[in-house]
């Protein structure tokens, strides 16, 4: 009887095991002609990881396959310097990276610690906790940095060189990462991270492998590689912004151009002028507090991303500026919410600052005091300056009267004069406050506009003080003309790098291929480019898929600027980077059916 009981027990458990085995199956991926493809048959066990001595036939994950199959080890963006990569990998554990920081200047040691901490955290997210508990091959990573400077700007040297090798047995590894600045070092670690890949081990545990040899020299083609993010049309939460910074850092983008305010809302807390958010924020939950901003800036810097704020003025200002009269300061903004809006602005709600109200400049001074407190006295600001709608000012008697008293008429040139005076006064206020805070005069970025049109720009804007961000179509001569006049520019090609297109009017959605293929002029005066996410039709609900993977496509254009690289060749690597983003919690849009991601070049 007892025997029977045991027999039944064994049988039942066998059936259970059988059922479990039946359910679990694994995939493997094979490399052929530098392309990875899923093999046809399901496997009962994942393929072996092997030792570092072997070139494997099959891999348990696409990422591992790409690591040794892709000519660039699926690095994104591809390095610009001499690069040699091995074709084998070996098992590694996140905690087995031993960082040697003796060649790091004291002043930047804590920063480097933070950067290596982020590196380890990202590695961990590849692995299951069972795997994390194990020990394995160790790798000594010797870091060295020349500069003790933590400044991140257009002069920061972001190059690095990375040398990674393992001994013949594959049990001991060594890496040397050399950079001039901590930011170059950070980029190097990002590359090192991309030289690892998740694998599936026996029993389904997710582990990690690293390529066994790599020698990379790398430096960016453009110094300004940015994403412009609009948080005014619709609010974007702080965690969303932090996650976006994660994404930017994963592809070595270095600027988050934060279009904080617009005529729709004013969501950034100004401690000295609390009315700005009280009137201008959508709700109390939709405010970036001073602490939030500090967190965002700090978070960005540790990831090599400089946050450049833009309070767009004098147009695109309405929400938050309504309280002037009540406070006895007169109208700070005009045409705010005027209807029919078509007569006063290009998009509702209308609103434009009142440049003839002297009190406005006092308020601006207070606002910028806060901004300088947050960002620091020598940081570059974007001052907006786009789409001033002359009929708004022209229909405001207070303004036309004041213009008359200054000897200005009501012609377009007169309004441009008024606008340029506003811009000069604003810059003056900001520079005075910078000076008081111990800063120096730095450049200011402005959107291209009437004021920056090549015929008149020299009359209004000093080429040594202003950098122009052009947002014209790729066929427009304006960027070239501004370059010829000697202006520095940042390019945001409207017909490919505007991520909001395709959801309104006659605009067309720009696929990652369109985005990737867009090439911008390459001269000393071209600082770089920015991809733009305007917020009319995007908020937290759809931010990630709107930005990614297209922003990553721009990242490679700006870092590597490949000349002979067809999108067909690029596609598998971008699929690979998309998977990396997913592991980091950034949910990109799909580029194609998943089958295509699993079968390189089969869907063309």
Partner 1 sequence: MVGVKSFIVKLCARPYCGRSKWVSWVWCTNSQTVQAQTSRLVRMMVGGVPSGKMRRALMVLILVMGVLFIAMYARTPPIVSLQPFTARSLKQLQHLVTFMGNNHTSESPETKLYEYSEIHRNFQSPWSWGCVAGRCERRAVRSSRTSLATCTALCGGNERLIWPRPTGDVFLGENSVTFHLQQITLVTVNTSDQEVKNLLEHAKDVFLGNIRSMIKVQNAKARSSIDSFVIYLSAGDVLGTRQTLTTDESYNIQVTLKGKLLEAKITGKTYYGVRHGLETLSQMIWWDEAAGRNGILRAISSASIRDKPTFGYRGLLIDTGRQFFAIEELKRVVDGMAASKLNTFHWHLSDSQSFPYDSPQFPEMARWGAFSGDQVYSPEDVKDLVDYAKVRGIRVLIEIDAPAHAGAGWQWGAENGFGELALCVDQQPWSAYCGEPNCGQLNPFNEHSYKILEGLYRELLDITELRDIIHIGGDEVNLECWAQYNNITMAMQAQNITDLHALWGDFETKALHRVFRANHNHVPKAVVVWSSPLTKRPYINTYFNPQLHVIQSWGGSNWPETPELLEDGFRVILSHVDAWYLDCGFGRWRETGEAACGEYRIWQTVYNHRPWKDYSQKEVSLILGGEAALWSEQVGRASLGPRLWPRASAFAERLWTDSLSNGYTIEENVYTRLAAHRELLRSRGLHTEPMWPQWCSENPGKCL
Which residues carry out catalysis?
387
Give least dist CB 553 to partner 1, A.
13
Q: How far is CA 226 from the centre of its chain?
A: 6
> Would you list the DSSP string of 563-585?
SS--HHHHHHHHHHHHHHHHHTT
Give the residue with the Cβ less far from partner 1, 228 or 420.
Answer: 228
Give least dist CB 305 to partner 1, A.
13
Closest CA to 451 of 462, 440, 441, 443: 462
Which 3-state string (H, E, C) describes 39-61?
CCCCECCCCCCCCCCCCCCEECC
Q: E-assigned strands of 131-264?
A: 138-145, 160-166, 172-179, 196-200, 206-211, 213-218, 224-230, 255-261
Give the residue with the Cβ less far from partner 1, 500 or 530.
Answer: 500
* CA distances to 126, 132, 133, 139, 207 from 129, in Å: 10, 5, 6, 20, 9
Give the residue with the Cβ less far from partner 1, 220 or 576.
Answer: 576
> Would you list the DSSP string of 501-557?
TTSSTT--PPPHHHHHH-----STTEEEEEEEE-STT-STTTHHHHHTTHHHHHHHH
Give the residue with the Cβ less far from partner 1, 151 or 507.
Answer: 507
Give the residue with the Cβ less far from partner 1, 86 or 188.
Answer: 188
Give the residue with the Cβ less far from partner 1, 211 or 307.
Answer: 307
Asked if 416 contacts 355 with a C-beta cutoff of 8 angstroms, the reply is no
Cβ burial 157-182 (10 Å sphere, 16+ → b, else e) = bbbbbbbbebeeebeebebbbbbbbb
* Strand-pair partners of 91: 209
Residues in the chain: 604
Asked if 276 contacts 317 with a C-beta cutoff of 8 angstroms, the reply is no
Residue 31 is given by DSSP the state: E
């Amino acid at each position: 009887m007892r025997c029977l009981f045991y027999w039944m027990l064994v049988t039942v458990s066998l059936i259970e095991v059988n059922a479990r085995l039946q359910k679990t199956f694994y995939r493997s991926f094979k490399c052929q002609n530098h392309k990875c493809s899923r093999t046809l048959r399901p496997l009962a066990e994942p393929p072996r990881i092997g030792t570092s001595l072997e070139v494997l036939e099959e891999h348990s994950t696409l990422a591992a396959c790409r690591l040794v199959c892709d000519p660039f080890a699926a690095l994104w963006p591809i390095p610009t310097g001499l690069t040699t990569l091995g074709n084998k990998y070996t098992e590694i554990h996140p905690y087995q990276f031993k960082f040697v920081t003796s060649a790091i200047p004291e002043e930047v040691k804590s920063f480097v610690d933070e950067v290596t901490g982020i590196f380890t955290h990202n590695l961990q997210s590849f692995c299951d906790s069972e795997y994390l508990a194990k020990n394995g091959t160790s790798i000594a990573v010797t870091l060295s940095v020349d500069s003790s400077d933590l400044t991140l700007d257009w002069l920061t040297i972001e190059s690095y060189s990375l040398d990674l090798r393992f001994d013949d047995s594959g049990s001991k590894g060594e890496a040397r990462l050399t950079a001039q600045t901590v930011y170059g070092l950070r980029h190097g670690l990002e590359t090192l991270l991309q030289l690892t890949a998740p694998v599936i081990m026996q029993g389904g545990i997710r582990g990690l492998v690293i390529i066994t040899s790599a020698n990379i020299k790398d430096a960016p083609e453009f110094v300004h590689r940015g994403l412009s993010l609009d948080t005014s049309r619709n609010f974007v939460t702080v965690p969303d912004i932090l996650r976006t910074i994660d994404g930017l850092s994963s592809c070595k983008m270095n600027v988050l151009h934060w279009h904080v305010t617009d005529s729709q809302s004013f969501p950034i807390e100004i401690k000295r002028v609390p009315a700005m958010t009280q009137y201008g924020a959508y709700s109390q939950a939709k405010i970036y507090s001073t602490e939030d901003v500090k967190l965002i800036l700090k978070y960005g810097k540790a990831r090599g991303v400089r946050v450049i704020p833009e309070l767009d003025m004098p147009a695109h200002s309405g929400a938050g500026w309504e309280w002037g009269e009540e406070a006895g300061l007169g109208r700070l903004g005009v045409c705010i919410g005027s209807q029919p809006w078509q007569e006063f602005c290009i998009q509702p709600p209308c609103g434009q600052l009142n440049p003839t109200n002297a009190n406005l400049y006092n308020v601006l001074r207070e606002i910028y005091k806060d901004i300088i407190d947050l960002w620091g006295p020598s940081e570059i600001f974007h001052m907006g300056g786009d789409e001033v709608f002359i009929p708004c000012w022209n229909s405001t008697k207070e303004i036309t009267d004041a213009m008359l008293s200054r000897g200005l008429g009501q012609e377009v040139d007169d309004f441009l004069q008024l606008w340029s005076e506003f811009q000069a006064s604003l810059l003056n206020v900001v520079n005075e406050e910078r000076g008081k805070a111990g800063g120096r005069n730095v450049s200011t970025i402005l959107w291209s506009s009437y004021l920056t049109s090549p015929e008149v720009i020299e009359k209004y804007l000093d080429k040594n003080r202003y950098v122009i961000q052009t947002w014209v179509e790729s066929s427009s001569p304006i960027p070239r003309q501004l370059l010829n006049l000697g202006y520095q520019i940042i390019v945001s090609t409207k017909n490919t790098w505007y991520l909001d297109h395709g959801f309104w009017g006659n605009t067309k959605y720009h696929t990652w291929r369109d985005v990737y293929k867009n090439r911008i002029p390459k001269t000393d005066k071209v600082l770089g480019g920015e991809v733009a996410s305007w917020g009319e039709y995007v908020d937290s609900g759809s931010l990630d898929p709107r930005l990614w993977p297209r922003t990553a496509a721009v990242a490679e254009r700006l870092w590597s600027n490949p000349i002979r690289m067809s999108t067909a060749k690029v596609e598998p690597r971008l699929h690979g980077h998309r998977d990396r983003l997913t592991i980091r919690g950034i949910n990109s849009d799909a580029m194609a059916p998943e089958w295509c991601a699993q079968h390189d070049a089969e869907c063309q």
